[in-house]
Chains A and B, each alone.
Chain A
Amino acid sequence: DAKTTQPNSMESNEEEPVHLPCNHSTISGTDYIHWYRQLPSQGPEYVIHGLTSNVNNRMASLAIAEDRKSSTLILHRATLRDAAVYYCILRAQGGSEKLVFGKGTKLTVNP
């Protein structure tokens, strides 16, 4: 499984945008980039995924670098409820559905 690298922690202020980075320099051409988050005392929750193009949904935006060696999860206006651990995961297209979680980035949102 290709590896991802994320900062251990980040801080943000409420109602400000948050950019969560993820490096995946060994990504293959068929790897999807998935983001999940885990709120305290809950199971992980799907956020967004993409392959090559930037993606938007109701929760967040995913910006993928042109060379695909890095990506950024963007929360447009952070709320206190967005405080969680955010995981960036690579999944092979057509391969196993297995998700390999790293330690993720712990996001703290200050009021």
Chain B
Amino acid sequence: AQSVTQLDSQVPVFEEAPVELRCNYSSSVSVYLFWYVQYPNQGLQLLLKYLSGSTLVKGINGFEAEFNKSQTSFHLRKPSVHISDTAEYFCAVTLKEDGGYNKLIFGAGTRLAVHP
């Protein structure tokens, strides 16, 4: 069965510092990969997704992620964070199945806290 592991439950960082949020998945078949952001008491918003092609994916708000098939990882990065990036971040995976619906498997989330 698929699973998604977000290696850090909380990541504190100072404003303007770089950050990496780690995500590993387990799957024996090809997958699609997503990162979502959730601000307090709100729904989730898509940051970026990897479907195929270039392994470096750029998303909104200056975030990017790199797909590493050999390490089954999809880590999220930002070179310089802002206070407004404080939120919870979820990594999610779905199987590539022709005609299938996209059942997303979510990680437990990483809470990013940006301090002034």
Do A and B originate from a single complex? no
